[in-house]
Structure 1
Amino acid sequence: MRIRIKNFLSKYIKITEFLFINLFIVFTLLKCLYFQFTTKLNKAPYFSLDNIFMIISTIAVIAIIVSLIFFVFDRKRLVALFIINLLLTILLIADTNFFRYYYNLITIPVFFQLNPRMINSVDQSIVSLFQLKDLIYIIDFPIMLFAFLKLNKRGVESIRFSKRFSKSISILAVSSIIIVCISSSSNLTSFAYSNNYSAKSLGVLFSHFYNTKLFIKENLLQDKVLKEEEKKLVEEHLQNKNKEDSAANFSQYKGIAEGKNLIIVQMEAMQQFVIGKTINGKEITPNLNRLIKESFYFDNIYYQVSGGNTSDAEFLANNSLYPLSEGSVYHRYSENTYHSLASILKDKGYTTYALHAFDKTFWNREEMYKALKFDTFFNSEDYIMDDFAGWSGNALSDKSFFRQSLNMIDTSKPFYSFFVTLSNHHPFNYFESFDFDVGEFEGEYIGNFIKGANYADSCIGEFIKDLKSRGLYDNSLLVFYGDHSAVPKIESEGLMKFLGIEYNDCDWAKLQRVPLIIHLPGQQKGEVISTTGGQIDIMPTIANLMGFDVPYALGKDLINTQKSYAVLRNGSIITDKYIYFNDTRELYDYKTGEPLDISLYENEMQSLINELNISDIIISNDLLSDKTP
């Protein structure tokens, strides 16, 4: 009788364990697929060939995880399985919300740059990204916990090492072959530029594995000595670019602002679609609209930021180099030598200021601004917190920021001041009660953003008045530009409703533009320049107007160039002829949105994407440390 009971319990435990394992596989797969489709990395039809490959690859990765757990842990296998389930759930929740804001996956460099002060500063933005349907991530927890406690109480049988080894190796081999076969049909070169492409092709779990492997290889195993061919590649690229620039005779407006002050304002989350736009008969950005009428307005400029977001925009504008594909340059390479705007103007006798009324350690600005050769960094410690508006409700308002900043700068001699605004920051909840009529969008995300943009514009209007009263407006080169997206893809429906258009990928890509306004000293007549470009082109354009050379800049002078393109950090490209999506390997006509034959543009696109590689080599090897400005 006891033997029968023992046999029955043994069979019961084995069946329950079998179900527990299958629940782990099914629920993990469900969570992964939820991530893939809720982020719109993968789209309907759900059983397209690409989606089937992604699903098969995801199952294979989950099978590898299970096989490794059973090989390593034996009697503790269910404990390990339960913990792994919990960790994967946390990772996928983090991925989902990070993706909704940054349109990218969390990677190891991103983890390294996180700290408690940074997390506390963005907690409202993080919370605002959660959606009720995200509860699917924890729907399995009560079931898995109940089954785990039952099994753990009764205990699980030990499995012979030889049996565990043979089964694990078999599953590992079959799953690995499946992944290799599927990955061979993907464009592996795109993996280096786009985490999204690897996730879309082989699933989010594979993408994390691939990025981790790449990180270990590049940072722990690879010889960091600059290879001769890499150095030659960079030198040839810069030489060819400078020859092309010289041959093009970039003389229009050259040196027109030489010796003048340089004032740059990086506008938080200001996107191009609100410029010149009205709602209920009122202009959203009346002051910027007025400034445009007496300035150069570049209406086809795309943000090129990556995981560093605002700090990446700063880096692009001040150095004309691309940000990193993972993590922030400000955190990872703050000890490098850079030939920045501040360093060049400092050598010309300018006093250089960086101004941002927030924690000096956020994005590691305190250290990075030293590397960029700013003489002084005015931060939250230097401002009187007398007025609050915008982000988290406890940040100094842009109105007070501009007013106090001009009192801090020594305007008696040539200066470069770099202002970074703050109020108009995601999630824009602060502006819900702001007095600006947004009609049917009242209380909605897009309505709150429009109010935030209107508030930021009013602060810029007062700033311009202050510049005029101090005699700085006509004695300075003024540059205003937006830093990054304000409307994440999950809020695309509201934006499309506001603009009165239907969503499609090409139009969404075109909406990722930011305003760039450059006002010359004494300029009274405006001009719209529709050259396609990015934030990397700001520095060379300023250099031409102020009459100095930037031999190590990768961008182009937007006023004189014959080239019209923007390379995004994920390897996508936008020109006046086509839009290329690197995460899907799809090419479309810019005007009509019709698919194009990618083979006809392959060489041209590869040449443009190569700029990312050149920039990475320069930054990762501190290649400008032995170069003279």
Structure 2
Amino acid sequence: MSSHIKNTRKFFNTKFGFFVLIVALFWLKTYISYRIDFTLGAKGGLQQFLLVVNPIPAALLIFGIALYFRGKIAYWLMLIIDLIESIWIFANVLYYREFSDFLSFGIIKGSGTVQNNLGKSLAEILHPLDFFVFADIIILILLLLFKVIKVDYTPFKKKNALAITVLSFVLMFAEFGISNADRSGLLTRTFDNNYIVKYLGLNEYAAFNAYQTHKESQTRAKAKASDLDDVFSFLKKNRSKANIEYYGKAKGKNVFIIHLESFQQFLIDYKVDGKEVTPNLNKFYHNQNTISFDNFYHQVAQGKTSDAEMMLENSLFGLPEGSAMVTYGTQNTYQAAPAILAQRGYSTAAFHGDVPSFWNRDNAYKSWGYQYFFDSNYYTEKPSYSVGYGLKDKIFFKDAAKYIQQLPQPFYAKLITLTNHYPYELDKQNVSFPATKTGDNTVDPYVQTAHYLDQAFGEFLNYLTKTGLIKNSMIVLYGDHYGISNNHRPAIAQLLHKQTITSYDLAQFQKVPFMIHMQGLKGGINHTYGGEIDVLPTLLHLLGVKDDNTVQFGNDLLSKKRNQIVAFRNGDFVSPKYTVVSGTVYNTKTGAVITPNAKQQAQIKKMQNHVTTELSLSDKVVLGDLLRFYTPKGFTKVNKKEYSYKYADGMKLLKEMDKKKKTDLLNKLHKKDTLNLYKTDAPELK
């Protein structure tokens, strides 16, 4: 035993031995922090393995820098690097405890943002065990001071130091390859910082975030107010006028936005084995007080749900790569629906049964002016209550009612459903509908989760009816993006009862529902061609809000004279006359491929130029943060410091507003609670 200890001590008395020791201790404390301080959601053997090993490649690289130096300098460098790394871990532990997210350089450099975000005093946030991350530094310094470990003055061979550097890069690329195979688009979509840390590590997240921040800063720094000139010129030329028949019809009404996750238009009136997949939504779709659009398309790219929200709230497109909400949601200036309506006396709230950091919602929603964000921290959480990405829809809607009844009216409330999300998983006790029989295991359960969503919506609608909210509300439903991707052509062909599927069919398959319901509203099926970019101006006109001085790229879908070119994010487009996919032109009405004559070529070129210009100008606004240079008359710039979505702060604000306004549902009905009116057959709640 003594010889073993002697040999071990002899090894650690070498420069390489000390390097191995400091890397091992750094790995250990990082992994312990992963498990104790962060909720990274590593599932399955592969993700658990990556979580264990991901601190190692970066540690070899950064600590390996010291091996190129001699004597005490090498040791001091390793300790200094360890101290810097420990401070980074420590800061993220504190920030994560408050916001369930990791520090970004954009937040750090933002004027007063970190101070504002870490709203609690350090005494309230700090736990004594947080200082554990510095323990290894203290131990190593003591070992060196008392010469338990001695400084090795022998030069470390440069080729060996270089070999360690090369090894670190090899391991990083291997780690990224494995991670990207398990979660495609890990860095291009960047939907949640938790994913990057889980797969790649805290250091790799820092490097990637630094790159993103630099890229943003360069673009933002070069931007100037005059860049908006082309934007205003385009908008002036293409903005459609409000329809007098509908303008202001919903003025003063509550607004419910029901976000139908991954829900496609083909599901409306669709049957499996003679049974309607979505009977409640079908009835709502055909209601005489519902305006339903049957040529409405999603227009998302890699950002998917976040792109849909970006268009819905801002009438700005998502980006061709990544998520604008993630990359530009925190620091950019916006003039979004929540802020516009809040400045007209509305309460504004978003409801979502997932962690607040997903898609950077906890930051982007502040930029958009949401007063409340009722995220997963506001709901009762049990393993049986969740599936996939968060709360099951029936439980989510019922829990959301607890806060809806307290919101001062009028309010703007967005509820984001989750159960109908890929991979369309649902436990047996909630499956009450037959799967399709295409033979595609991804596609077949899609109708089952869609049916469950429909049931949940039906229960929520019953609650709105029983409480009387439906009488004073405009209810808006929209599908955010496709549920079945184009990679499932054989299954899509079977669903659509076709022999083969063309690119035209796939373009039409991108239709999603859009419905606007209000008692007294003149409803019907509207055949105009539009997309998610058009939602905001449509809703603002219904609410009687003028938007002729806003930077919004959409057009009112109810306008009698409007541009009906629907731009897809990749530059393809659909119009009533032509559908263009990857350069191939189709007759939109028949789906037949056409060879354009000279006149048609001129028309298509004009349409394509419109699409290209629209997309590029929207990108210009987002990438350059151009709205910081322009504030519309009557609009007050959003102050993100005014908002906190922590549970205690949200509940405190509800109480304050209750004392101040007395316009919430509970006050209107003179009740202490309305949840007894909410009926659900969710088996988990029985």
Give the 3-state SS of the residue equivalent to 1:513 in structure 2.
coil
Deviation at 1:120, TM superposition (A): 6.7
Structure 2 unaligned blocks of 5 or more:
1-158, 200-210, 636-686
| Equivalent residue, structure 2, for 1:613 | 616
Tell me how far apart the structure 1 counterparts of residues 192 and 300 of structure 2 sit (CA, whole Å): 18
| Equivalent residue, structure 1, for 2:271 | 278
**1:472 matches 2:469:** yes
| Equivalent residue, structure 1, for 2:577 | 577
Give the 3-state SS of the residue equivalent to 1:344 in structure 2.
helix
| Equivalent residue, structure 2, for 1:237 | 234
| Equivalent residue, structure 2, for 1:116 | 194
Q: Report the more deviating stretch, 267-276 or 405-414.
A: 405-414
Amino acid across the alignment from 1:519: H
1:58-92 CA distance string (max 9 Å, x none): xxxxxxxxxxxxxxxx9999999999999888777
Q: Within 5 A, what are the aligned runs for 1:210-609?
A: 224-227=221-224, 230-242=227-239, 245-246=240-241, 250-294=243-287, 295-333=290-328, 334-385=330-381, 388=384, 391-392=387-388, 395-409=390-404, 410-430=406-426, 434-438=431-435, 440-441=437-438, 444-501=441-498, 502-523=500-521, 526-550=523-547, 551-560=550-559, 561-581=561-581, 584-590=582-588, 591-597=590-596, 599-600=601-602, 601-609=604-612
Tell me how far apart the structure 2 counterparts of residues 522 and 439 of structure 1 sit (CA, whole Å): 38
Tell me how far apart the structure 2 counterparts of residues 417 and 594 of structure 1 sit (CA, whole Å): 43
| Conserved? CA contact 1:355–1:405, under 8 Å | yes
Amino acid across the alignment from 2:325: Y
| Equivalent residue, structure 2, for 1:145 | none
| Conserved? CA contact 2:246–2:541, under 8 Å | yes
- Shift of the 490–98 alpha-carbon distance from structure 1 to 2, 3 Å rule, reads farther
1:407-454 CA distance string (max 9 Å, x none): 212255211101111111101133677221236358832220010100
Q: Report the more deviating stretch, 383-392 or 363-372.
A: 383-392
Tell me how far apart the structure 1 counterparts of residues 220 and 437 of structure 2 sit (CA, whole Å): 58
Aligned residue pairs total 450
| Conserved? CA contact 2:302–2:323, under 8 Å | yes
TM-score by length of 2: 0.60
Alpha-carbon RMSD across the aligned residues, in angstroms, is 3.3
Tell me how far apart the structure 2 counterparts of residues 84 and 120 of structure 1 sit (CA, whole Å): 18
Q: Report the more deviating stretch, 368-377 or 430-439.
A: 430-439
Tell me how far apart the structure 2 counterparts of residues 89 and 276 of structure 1 sit (CA, whole Å): 48
Q: Report the more deviating stretch, 346-355 or 87-96.
A: 87-96
Amino acid across the alignment from 1:401: F
Amino acid across the alignment from 1:563: N
- Shift of the 221–268 alpha-carbon distance from structure 1 to 2, 3 Å rule, reads closer
- Shift of the 231–594 alpha-carbon distance from structure 1 to 2, 3 Å rule, reads same
| Equivalent residue, structure 1, for 2:75 | none
Q: Report the more deviating stretch, 569-578 or 439-448.
A: 439-448
Tell me how far apart the structure 1 counterparts of residues 283 and 384 of structure 2 sit (CA, whole Å): 26
Deviation at 1:589, TM superposition (A): 2.1
Deviation at 1:292, TM superposition (A): 1.1
Give the 3-state SS of the residue equivalent to 1:564 in structure 2.
coil
Tell me how far apart the structure 2 counterparts of residues 96 and 386 of structure 1 sit (CA, whole Å): 30
| Equivalent residue, structure 2, for 1:14 | none
- Shift of the 442–548 alpha-carbon distance from structure 1 to 2, 3 Å rule, reads same
TM-score by length of 1: 0.65
- Shift of the 221–396 alpha-carbon distance from structure 1 to 2, 3 Å rule, reads closer
Amino acid across the alignment from 2:448: K
1:362-417 CA distance string (max 9 Å, x none): 1111111111101110011100125846743x732111111111221225521110
1:469-501 CA distance string (max 9 Å, x none): 111112101100111111122222112112211
| Conserved? CA contact 1:442–1:448, under 8 Å | no
- Shift of the 236–77 alpha-carbon distance from structure 1 to 2, 3 Å rule, reads same
| Equivalent residue, structure 2, for 1:627 | 631
Tell me how far apart the structure 2 counterparts of residues 291 and 419 of structure 1 sit (CA, whole Å): 17
- Shift of the 220–406 alpha-carbon distance from structure 1 to 2, 3 Å rule, reads closer
Amino acid across the alignment from 1:292: Y
| Equivalent residue, structure 2, for 1:6 | none
| Conserved? CA contact 1:391–1:428, under 8 Å | no
- Shift of the 223–484 alpha-carbon distance from structure 1 to 2, 3 Å rule, reads closer
| Conserved? CA contact 2:265–2:294, under 8 Å | yes
- Shift of the 469–615 alpha-carbon distance from structure 1 to 2, 3 Å rule, reads same
Deviation at 1:119, TM superposition (A): 8.0
Give the 3-state SS of the residue equivalent to 1:400 in structure 2.
helix
Deviation at 1:93, TM superposition (A): 7.2
| Conserved? CA contact 2:219–2:624, under 8 Å | no
- Shift of the 223–533 alpha-carbon distance from structure 1 to 2, 3 Å rule, reads closer
| Conserved? CA contact 2:348–2:413, under 8 Å | yes
Amino acid across the alignment from 2:534: D
Give the 3-state SS of the residue equivalent to 2:390 in structure 1.
coil
Structure 1 unaligned blocks of 5 or more:
1-73, 100-105, 122-213
1:309-337 CA distance string (max 9 Å, x none): 11111111111110111211222112222
- Shift of the 497–479 alpha-carbon distance from structure 1 to 2, 3 Å rule, reads same
Deviation at 1:110, TM superposition (A): 3.5
